[in-house]
Amino acid sequence: MNDNERQFEDFVSKIKFDDTPDSDHRDKLEQDLLAAMAKQTRQEKDLRLIIWRRIMKSPIVRLTAAAVIIVGILVGIGTFSCTTAWAQITRAVNDVQNIHITETVTHGNADVREYQWWIKKPRYLKEEYTDRVIIDNGIDRLVINKAKKTAQLSDSWLPYRPLEKHYMFGTLGFFREKKPRGTEITKIAEQSDEIAIVYEIEKKDYKGKAWIEANTMLPLRIVATTAEEPKADEPISLEYTYNYEPISMETFSTSIPPGYDELPRKQREVLSGKLINKRGQVVPGATVYAVDGGAKFAASCKTDRWGEFSFKLPPDNVEPLWFPIFLRAFQEDDPSRVAWTIIRGPNEKRESGIKVPGNPGHHKILEGRGSVRFAGATGIVLETQPAGKIVGQVTDIDGNAISDAAISVTCHPVDKFGNEGDHGLEIGNLGGPGKYGAVTTQTDGEGRYEFDNLPRFWDKTVFIVGTGAQGYVYSSIRFRSEGPMNYKEVDFLLYPAGLTVKGVVMDNYGAPLAQREIYALVNGKDYTKCKTKTDEKGGFRLFGCPISQDLQIKADLSHNHWPPHERKRYLSYRYYPDVVVDIEYEEGNTEYEVEMVAERPESTIEVELKNTAGEPLPYFPVEVRGAPGTISSQWEADKKLKQRTDKNGYCKFTEVPKVEDLRLVMWGSGGVWNETLSEEQVEKIKKKYKKYKWTEVPIELIPDQKEYKIEVTILTNEEYEQKK
């Protein structure tokens, strides 16, 4: 599940539906909404229309669901378009201390419903719907069910969902920043004055007006009507009013109302266990860290006198936790020992072939919506074992020590073959005091640092150490362990930051290349923290680049950075070879300008293969290769840069890029696919051609030449040895 889908799922779970007829309808609608989301990733349809159609199929839920969802459709709240920047909303909310929003929805059958939201800084929230009232004071959360006459307390959600991220408050930043996609906003000058500005709002399904306070650009009132003739039970209009006057604290009282039955307080799930040493003795006073795979949960605690630890998880799954869960424990006065384990998801199909230490205990899961999430665990046993250590020094380019540099270390556990990726071991962080449970430290006065109590993991495990300091360009070093990681020295040389490079990226036909990643290089090392993307005209500006005579700027054009679920953008990507240009550094000059021209892949290579007797070699595997990373696997597959010769020993490659170390590779036992051959035929060909020597033929690239014809004579292994 990607971040956009998680954000949408998070939004759906917060919608308060009218479940008076049957509470099961709430779950049914949530499933319908999420099913629409899943379908959107497979089809190029407008998500808002799919959701709306699915809602309208359910006559029971459409009355109340519409009231909440219309605001998202009308003003383009980011939960649907994923374009609203929460920073914009935060700035708007920060300008006021009290907000009271009232929503009035009128349906075609004259049914009128009202919903209200109150917010008071720093941590008070009240929501009132037709069927329930929710009050959250930052400590306790009270849910009042009007229909069932029940009330139930639980722990506050606000530590996990800040006030400014509440979906209803997305409208506050609407008129301050860039308008949402698909919405037309026109100022009505004759109706505006120095107190309020009036705007006309038009969207595909709705049109209306908004009254905005001139000084703050905060909304005062928004009204809208449907653009089409609605059915009797569908909304025909809605109105939002905003009041910023002080709100009484009595509004947020969590006392049980008279006449309501109080249900038992909801208890939070836990993540608990104990820590023992190699002799089975409990270890009190140790520090325990826990982090989840989605960077949603990171916490620490101490073991008690019985060596036991316990973490409270977010209440009511308000912040769903994702597998795998990583735990690390150690005594701070003993840098040589550590205990750790990984709790993998129950549906993990791919085996890692690795034995993870400790006992993950008995864990609970939260199923539904096509995913399985972590919902607590008990009985975990962590056992101490020898720890790994990473040390090093951070200096500048003149060898001077850099003190107070921030250092972090992360890790990518691998499977038994050394592969990173989808095997259930993809931990987020190693559990530490940094953000999201990152393991961090700082350099001392001599620029030295030390990480103790690290899990050693196993052979070929990937570790990434990164550092940054004020006035210097961030740098990271990635290495693989040789066996368990017992001890490793990782030193850094930091370049001062201070150069600005602007430029444009286009192809050799003058077409601008938009939304392409640009970053700095020094001596072949990527400095991807100094990175940006080109605009629609191919322009870019890089700030804080390394001050170095060896500075280069790279346009990363050979990889499709759009995620596959953004189908339209993903398919719009066109491959080009990467472009790297040198910066002619001059001391004292801090600004540079470059033009980067990418060459379209247009070369054609015709190949004929023969043996030493002059006989053609039919169905022989031939590949076009370049230096590692220069030809994307996507382009390689799309343009069939791996082929077999035809029955006459001939094959032709088109749209071949001119890249470094371009060459043909011929190997008789290669497993190149050919749709005309059966598996049995392929195996026979492999056996027949096994006697031929692996052959590589460099392709000499000539400026302005696009067509190449190459004849290759393949030697057998025996012929090669005789000739050698």
pLDDT tens-digit readout, 353-397: 788 999 999 988 887 666 788 989 999 999 999 999 999 999 999
The owner of tokens 């001077």 is: 400
Q: Which residues of the chain have pLDDT under 50?
A: 1-86, 89
User: CB atoms < 10 A from the CB of 85, how many?
Assistant: 12
pLDDT at 693: 94
Strand order from edge to edge, sheet including 196-202:
184-187, 196-202, 206-213, 219-226, 235-243, 98-107, 112-120, 124-128, 132-136, 140-145, 150-155, 261-263
Q: Which residues on neighbouring strands pair with residue 114, listed in sequence order?
A: 104
User: DSSP per residue over 133-199, as a string?
Assistant: EEEE-SSEEEEEETTTTEEEEEE-STTTS-GGG-GGGGGGGTTTSPPPTT-EEEE-GGG--SSEEEE
pLDDT in tens, 625-637: 999 989 988 899 8
For residues 678 and 632, the answer to whether their CB atoms sit within 8 Å is: no
The owner of tokens 């826990």 is: 290
Answer whether the bond into residue 324 is a cis peptide, omega within 30°: yes
**Spelled out in words, what is the top-level CATH class assigned to the domain 603-723?**
mainly beta
Is beta strand 448-454 parallel, antiparallel or unpaired with respect to 462-468?
unpaired
DSSP 359: B
Percentage of the chain lying above the pLDDT 90 cut: 63
Q: Which two tokens stand for residue 378?
A: 């008990």
Q: With 0-12 CB in 10 A as exposed, 13-18 as middle and 19+ as buried, what is 631? A: buried
CA dihedral 376, 381, 385, 391 (to 10 degrees): 20
Q: Three-state SS for 470?
A: coil
User: DSSP per residue over 83-107, as a string?
Assistant: ---HHHHHHHHHT-SEEEEEEEEEE
Nearest to 21 by CA among 60, 57, 64: 60
What whole-number distance in Å separates Cα of residue 622 and Cα of residue 612?
18
Q: Which residues on neighbouring strands pair with residue 582, listed in sequence order?
A: 552
The runs of H, that is alpha helices, within 612-665 are 633-638
What whole-number distance in Å separates Cα of residue 112 and Cα of residue 427?
50
- Angle of helix 3-14 relative to helix 24-40, nearest 10 degrees, comes to 160
For residues 103 and 238, the answer to whether their CB atoms sit within 8 Å is: yes
The terminus-to-terminus CA distance of the chain in angstroms comes to 55
Q: Which long-range contacts (CB under 8 A, 24 or more apart) does 113-120 make?
A: 113/63, 113/64, 113/67, 115/67, 115/68, 117/166, 117/168, 117/169, 118/247, 118/251, 118/252, 119/93, 119/163, 119/166, 119/169, 120/247, 120/249, 120/251, 120/252
What whole-number distance in Å separates Cα of residue 635 and Cα of residue 7?
32
Segments making up each domain of the chain, as ranges:
3-249, 271-493, 497-598, 603-723
User: DSSP per residue over 185-199, as a string?
Assistant: EEE-GGG--SSEEEE
Nearest to 10 by CA among 369, 428, 437: 369
Distant-in-sequence, close-in-space partners of 532: CB < 8 Å, separation ≥ 6 = 517, 518, 519, 540, 541, 542
Nearest to 326 by CA among 459, 458, 466, 427: 427
Query: What values do phi and psi take at 27, rounded to 5?
Result: -65, -40
pLDDT at 365: 87
* Dihedral sign (CA 659, 664, 669, 673): positive
Q: Which two tokens stand for residue 674?
A: 């050919």
pLDDT at 552: 97
> CA 597 → CA 519, 542, 660, distances in Å?
15, 17, 16
What whole-number distance in Å separates Cα of residue 539 and Cα of residue 537?
5
What whole-number distance in Å separates Cα of residue 50 and Cα of residue 476?
44
The owner of tokens 């027949």 is: 688
For residues 34 and 5, the answer to whether their CB atoms sit within 8 Å is: no
User: DSSP per residue over 302-315, as a string?
Assistant: E--TTSEEEEEPPG
The runs of H, that is alpha helices, within 614-671 are 633-638
What whole-number distance in Å separates Cα of residue 621 and Cα of residue 680?
16
Distant-in-sequence, close-in-space partners of 74: CB < 8 Å, separation ≥ 6 = 201, 203, 206, 208, 222, 224, 238
Domain 497-598 identical in fold to domain 603-723: yes
Is beta strand 406-412 parallel, antiparallel or unpaired with respect to 439-442?
antiparallel
**Spelled out in words, what is the top-level CATH class assigned to the domain 271-493?**
mainly beta
Strand order from edge to edge, sheet including 325-330:
298-302, 287-292, 325-330, 337-343, 385-386
The architecture CATH gives domain 497-598:
Sandwich (2.60)
User: CB atoms < 10 A from the CB of 193, how many?
Assistant: 10
What whole-number distance in Å separates Cα of residue 546 and Cα of residue 474?
9
What whole-number distance in Å separates Cα of residue 174 and Cα of residue 720?
72
- The H or E element containing residue 500 is strand 497-507
Task: Tell me the pTM.
Answer: 0.75
